[in-house]
A and B are shown apart, each in its own frame.
Chain A
Amino acid sequence: MSASLIEHADRLAARYDVVVVGAGPAGLTAATQVAAEGLSVLVLDENLAPGGQIYRAITLRAQTGRDYLGAAYWDGKRIADAFLASSLTYAPAARVWSLDPASPRDDEPYARIGVSLGGASRHVQARRVILATGALERPTPVPGWALPGVMTAGAAQIALKSAGLVPSGRVVLAGCGPLLYQLAMQLQGAGADIVALLDTGPGMGSAWQHLPQFLFSPYVIKGLSLLMSVRRRLRVVSGVRHLAIEGEAKARQVRFETERGTETLTADLVLLHQGIIPDTALANSAGCALEWNESIRAFQPKVDVQGCSSLAGIFVAGDGARIVGALAAAETGRAVALAVLAQLRAERAEQFEQQRVDVLKRSAWLQRGRRFIDAAYLPTQPFLAPEDSSTLICRCEEVTAGTVREAAKRGACGPNQLKTFTRCGMGPCQGRLCGPTVVELLADEGRISPAQVGTYRLRAPIKPLRLAEIAGLPATSAAIHAVTGVWPLTPKTHPAQIDRELSNDR
């Protein structure tokens, strides 16, 4: 058996038992686990091949000659191969643009998902939805971050993994988080010229209290040896403040301050990173409740012990639920799949529950020491809520920190009202790159917690969608009636069916 690949919306079935959104470690293990029990599974993913960002292109390129990616990368091969050997439907290059929970009025509740695939859109229905949408890099709003020649650390990693590309000029890495150090090793191994790694992190000071846990973490040896080898091979500058990128039409140099004064480095490419946070866009737009996680300073979907969101039938797994790292994410994917199976194959619920307990134990073991990593790499306040008023916050609509702070003073009480004041968050990225900063700025101005500020309320479509695609959606009987005044003469005109379609159209 193997996964059946589909490339066009026409080939989607109307209904599936389970739809998984995302094909990173959590989505892959979740889909594999559910498919193994014979349920119909559809996996929708934006990438061209399985692996998510962490195992990107793992099945596409040869393993040989790519040692620079490190052993941890190749962990993903097994998971991706098992997935491709499962009997399920897999739609790569698919963009999910809406998710509506099942209406409680339906006797057989189905959630509804809007997806664009191969240039056309369709709605599919699912008895259960597993969101495995992964993580995003937290924005790094510093002066000059919108210049060409400035990218995220994750972007450089994607270029390396998916296309075997390495930066050709002088590279400066700046920010904080384990990924920055991992990238430094990978790029150097692949032959990049790294001028320096500028560490803006808080240092270990606040993390010591979590150290005992960390000493038992599976990452302790790997993590420490990574830090040491980067420091041995590259120039690492700690305690970096006031980072700015300078240049006219592109990045030319990086200016920064430390205790020893100001320094400038020439650079052709600047790679920024301030850690990763859950990508909550789809959960948010569906109406799932979000909660503030102070230890990573980010919103994440609220989930119960089963991994179910605040909306029945919609589950969340992996880094999209809470940042746990790739290995633990794969385990949470399995755990959520088992919770779903316990509901859909109720006669064997006990057996799935037993399996789930074991998986959760493994997952907890893999997460030991996470608190230490979170605390040691939490961005410092000036990188969360920039003080310099000219710093761009919303790259799409070009709104600065000064404008956001000014709007807060004039009474914009939350991120959603701020949109009407400033257009901040109303461009095509729909707040993915300004949302976290806006929350921090409003919290800073109002002297309140980000939990009280809340975040943007997103609405479908969460990805830009061409009007032609919306117009091309198969019309429901209710829609045909609304336009023509006549009910189409199909078996679908049963009143109960119309009622369901009407509720779906809301």
Chain B
Amino acid sequence: MFRKVTPGDKALSFHFEGGVCSAEPGDTVALALLVAGIDSCRDSVVSGQPRGPYCLMGACFECLVVIDGVQNLQGCQVQVREGMVVTRQRGGRHALGDTLS
């Protein structure tokens, strides 16, 4: 859905829902997903509709994802890192769902 105007020379890779995506260091998780062509990162809390980043500035909470086992993180506020494991935030936060290691 988005592409780099001028692709940089550095790349890292991270995981989303089991697949491997590449990103540029310094980009946020939300942007990295958009570049990878993934426009929906969570299912809404009430009706389970697919949702994706909307404001990219921390206001809307539409970019929620699970990052390395921690639920409900705003993808637009977290920088993507090498080897990061990102999964969809399915509905609300699940009790005991965080797998902090």
Interface residues of A (CB under 8 A from B): 46, 48, 53, 60, 65, 68, 93, 136-137, 146-152, 154-155, 158-160, 162-169, 190-191, 249-250, 268-269, 279, 395-398, 427-429, 432-433, 464
Of the candidates A166, A268, A429, the one whose C-beta lies within 8 Å of that of B60 is: A429
In chain B, what residue has the closest Cβ to A66? B5
| Proximity bits, B45-83, A CB within 8 Å = 1, else 0 | 111011111111111111010000000100001010000
Separation in Å of the B39 CB from the closest CB of chain A? 4
Contacts of B45 in A (CB 8 A): 396-398, 427
- Closest residue of B by beta carbon distance from A166: B5
Asked whether A432 lies within 8 Å of B5 as measured between CB atoms, the reply is no
Is there contact, CB below 8 Å, between A269 and B1?
yes
CA distance A151 to B57 in the complex (A): 11
The reply to whether B39 and A60 form a contact with Cβ atoms under 8 Å apart is: no
Return chain A residues, CB-CB under 8 Å to B61. Answer: 396, 427-429, 464
Whole-angstrom distance between the alpha carbons of A158 and B30 in the complex? 12
Is B22 an interface position by the 8 A CB rule? no
A-B contact pairs, 18 of them (CB 8 A): A53-B57, A68-B5, A137-B55, A148-B40, A149-B52, A152-B54, A152-B55, A164-B6, A165-B2, A166-B4, A167-B1, A249-B40, A250-B50, A250-B52, A269-B1, A397-B46, A432-B59, A464-B72
Bound CA span A150–B44, Å: 15
Q: Given contacts A163-B31, A395-B62, are A150 and B2 in contact (CB under 8 A)?
A: no
> CA of A136 to CA of B45 in the docked complex: distance in angstroms?
24
- How far apart sit A398 and B91, CA to CA, in the bound complex (Å)? 12
Q: Which residues of B contact A46 (CB under 8 A)?
A: 58, 77
A169 to B2: give the CA distance in the assembly, Å: 8
Hey, which chain A residues are within 8 Å of B40, CB to CB? 148, 249-250
Nearest Cβ in chain B — how far from A444, in angstroms? 24
What's the Cα separation between A155 and B57 when bound, in Å?
7
Contacts A165-B5, A167-B2, A433-B60 given: A146-B27 contact, CB under 8 Å?
Answer: no
A-B CB proximity, top 4 nearest? A148-B52, A148-B40, A155-B56, A148-B39
CA separation between A396 and B46, bound complex, in Å? 8
Q: A249-B50, A398-B44, A398-B47 are in contact. Are A48 and B1 (CB under 8 A)?
A: no
A152 to B34, CA, bound (A): 14
Structural contact, A158 and B6, CB atoms closer than 8 A: no
Q: Report chain B residues within 8 Å CB of A147.
A: 50
Determine if B26 is an interface residue (Cβ-Cβ < 8 Å): yes
Taking CB atoms, residues of chain A closer than 8 Å to B79 are 48
Which residues on the A side are within 8 Å of B57 (C-beta)? 53, 154-155, 158
Please, how many residues of chain B have a CB less than 8 angstroms from a CB on the other chain? 37
Q: Which residues of A contact B64 (CB under 8 A)?
A: 428
Measured CA separation A154–B54 after assembly (Å): 9
- Name the A residues within 8 Å of B6 (CB-CB): 65, 164
Other-chain residue from B5, B39, B47 in contact with A164 (beta carbon distance below 8 A): B5
List the interface of chain B (C-beta within 8 A of A): 1-6, 24, 26-28, 31, 34-35, 39-40, 44-47, 49-62, 64, 72, 77, 79
A268 pairs with B1, CB closer than 8 A: yes
Closest to A157 in B: B56
Contacts of B5 in A (CB 8 A): 68, 160, 164-166, 190-191
- The complex places the Cα of A502 from the Cα of B12 at a distance, in Å, of 49
Other A-B pairs, 19, CB within 8 Å; known A155-B53, A168-B1, A429-B60: A46-B58, A60-B26, A136-B59, A146-B51, A146-B62, A152-B56, A159-B2, A162-B31, A163-B4, A163-B24, A163-B31, A165-B4, A165-B31, A167-B1, A250-B52, A395-B51, A395-B54, A433-B59, A464-B72
Q: Is the CB of A165 within 8 A of B51?
A: no
Residue of B24, B31, B45, B57 with highest tally of chain A CB at under 10 A: B57
A151 and B55 contacting across the interface, CB-CB below 8 Å: yes
Smallest Cβ distance from B18 to chain A, in angstroms? 19
**Within the assembled complex, what's the spacing in Å between the Cα atoms of A65 and B49?**
39
User: Closest CB of chain A to B54's CB: distance in Å?
Assistant: 5
Q: How far is the CB of B86 from chain A (nearest CB, A)?
A: 16
Closest B residue to A46 by beta carbon equals B58
Docked CA distance A48–B25 (Å) = 13
B3 close to A168 (CB less than 8 A): yes
- List residues of chain B with CB within 8 A of the CB of A433: 59-60
Question: Within the assembled complex, what's the spacing in Å between the Cα atoms of A160 and B6?
Answer: 11
Q: In the complex, what's the smallest C-beta–C-beta distance from A274 to chain B, in angstroms? A: 13
A46 to B28, CA, bound (A): 13
Alpha-carbon distance A149/B38, docked complex (angstroms): 10
Residues of B within 8 A of A268 (CB): 1
Q: Complex Cα distance A151/B31, Å?
A: 12
Cross-chain contact B46 with A166 (CB below 8 angstroms): no
Residues of B within 8 Å of A65, CB to CB, are 6
Query: In whole angstroms, what is the CA distance A484 to B88 when docked?
Result: 42
Q: With contacts A152-B55, A155-B53, A397-B45 known, is A166 near B26, CB below 8 A?
A: no
CB-CB under 8 A from A269, the residues of chain B are 1
Whether the Cβ atoms of B72 and A154 lie closer than 8 Å is no
- Once A159-B31, A159-B34 are accepted as A-B contacts, the answer to whether A164 and B60 lie under 8 Å apart by CB is no
Which A residue sits closest to B31, measured CB to CB? A163
Q: How far is the CB of B88 from chain A (nearest CB, A)?
A: 12
CB nearest to A146 among chain B residues: B51
Determine if A429 and B59 form an interchain contact, defined as CB atoms under 8 angstroms apart: yes
Residues of A within 8 A of B44 (CB): 146, 395, 398
Most buried by A among B5, B6, B28, B44: B5
Chain A residues with Cβ below 8 Å from B27 are: 163
Using known A-B contacts A136-B59, A149-B39, A427-B61, determine if residue A165 contacts B3 with beta carbons closer than 8 Å: yes
